[in-house]
Every structure is written in C-alpha cells, then in structure tokens.
Amino acid sequence: IMSKIFSNLLSFIVLVTSIYILEIIFFSFKASIIILIILFLLICLLLYLKTFFQVKESSGKTNIQNMFKAYIAIYLIVLFLITSIFRGHNLNWLLKNNGQINLIPIINTFKEFQNLTNFQRTPFFTLLVGNLIMYIPMTYLISRSSNNQTLKLTIFYILFLATIIELLQHFWGTGVFDIDDIILNTSGSIIFYFLFNKSSLSKILDSIFLFKFTKLTFKEYLRGTIELIIIILLLYYLIHSYWFII
C-alpha cells in the first residue's frame, strides 16, 4: 500500500516538474534554481521511499537496481539542464549557432588561462573544479546499478556520457566542445571512484541505498559523514557555478 502511495506522489511531482521545465524552455518563464532543486530533491526522496517499501513488501532486489537507474536518469537530466538549456535561462540562445571546438588537450586551456586577468581567473578556476567533480556521483550510481560493474566499465560509461554532454553543448550553441572538459570529467571520476566504493562513505551510502546495514565504528561513521557533507557542498558549488557564472 505504501509503495503505491509514494508511486502516485512521485508521478505527480514528476508531472509538475516537467510542466515547470517546459514553461521555462518554451515560454521564457523565469527559472528559479531553488524551486528546481526542491522539485528534484522531492523526486529523489519519493523514488527512494517508493523503492524502500517495494523492497520491504516484496523483498525484490531488482527494485533497488531500478532505483539506481532512475537516479542516473535524474542526474543526467539535471546535468543536461545546467550545461545546456539553462545557460541563458530560455530557448532564445539555442539552435542559433554551434559552439566552438577544442580538440587539443591542456595546451589551449593553459594559454586561455594565461591571457585572463586576475578577476577573470576566479570563475575560470571555478569551472575547472566544476568539471572535475561533475560526474563523481555517477561513479557510485553506475557501479550499483548492475551486479557486473567494474572500474573500467564505470569509467567507460562516464567518458561516453561526458562526450555526449559536450556534443549537446556544441550543437545547441550553449558551450564549447572541449576535450579538456572530458579529461577533467573522467579524471575526477577515477579519483573519486575509490572514495565512493572502497571507503567509509561507501558503507554509509550502501546502508542508505542498498539497505545493507553494515555495522560501522564511530570513526568510520564520522569520517564517512564528513566526506558526504563535503561532496554535497561540492555539488552545490557546481550547480551555483554553472547557474551564475555562465
């Protein structure tokens, strides 16, 4: 019964979110990042509660993997909105002209950084950090969405997704297809893969999302909690950076 209630609530919030996004895209409705964050957090919460009660009522582990696949879809939608459509807050920017292309690793980015003033270097550095941390939640979500995911497969999927996002930015004219962005996206995922899969934080996340209530020592719990808070702050930093700097 509870899973059905949360399923219906989830469908309603998804409908409301879809209508809100369509109004922004097609009617130049002024977007509010706060409202969008609340709506997507509600979707994630209701999806989690729906899956929790489905597992509790049926003991079916496939529901957990479906939840992770849904989280992957939600995160990709958010990335697409932040890096493409909401970089101008309306559709007027889009489809007018394609963005630029940078296929030379590191060199062009370094030259661009040298030519910037001190005032311009801060947002430039912010975007570099944003690209580094952009896909780190995917290292956990992808590895838990199937029983056969390895580091190599996870990195391959992230490399593929990062390339798709860069192509969308180019063809929609809302950004540059930059090989350095793809390198940073993939490098950040490799660095944080072990944090999300081989640490105290991974045990805490597994107890929350996989319903594996592993006994943790106080130090493990404290360390994992601090790591989780840092990751949340970094993700907020990413969203804020793309929304207000671009």
Residues paired with residue 178 on neighbouring β-strands, in sequence order: 102
CB 221 within 8 A of CB 213: no
- Across the range 75-99, mean pLDDT stands at 61
> Alpha-carbon distance 50 to 67, whole Å?
9
Q: Which of 26-40, 53-67, 92-106 has the lowest mean pLDDT?
A: 92-106
Looking at residue 90, its pLDDT comes to 43
3-state helix, strand, coil in the chain (%, to 5): 75, 0, 20
pLDDT score of 92: 44
Per-residue pLDDT tens digits for 189-207: 888 888 777 777 788 888 8
Q: Check if the beta carbon of residue 92 is closer than 8 Å to that of residue 28.
A: yes
- Whether the full predicted model's pTM is greater than 0.85, yes or no, is no
Sign of CA dihedral 128, 134, 137, 140: negative
Q: In percent, how much of the chain has pLDDT > 90? A: 4
Chain segment 90-142, per-residue pLDDT in tens: 444 444 545 577 777 777 777 766 666 666 666 677 777 778 888 888 888 88
Average pLDDT over residues 161-165: 88
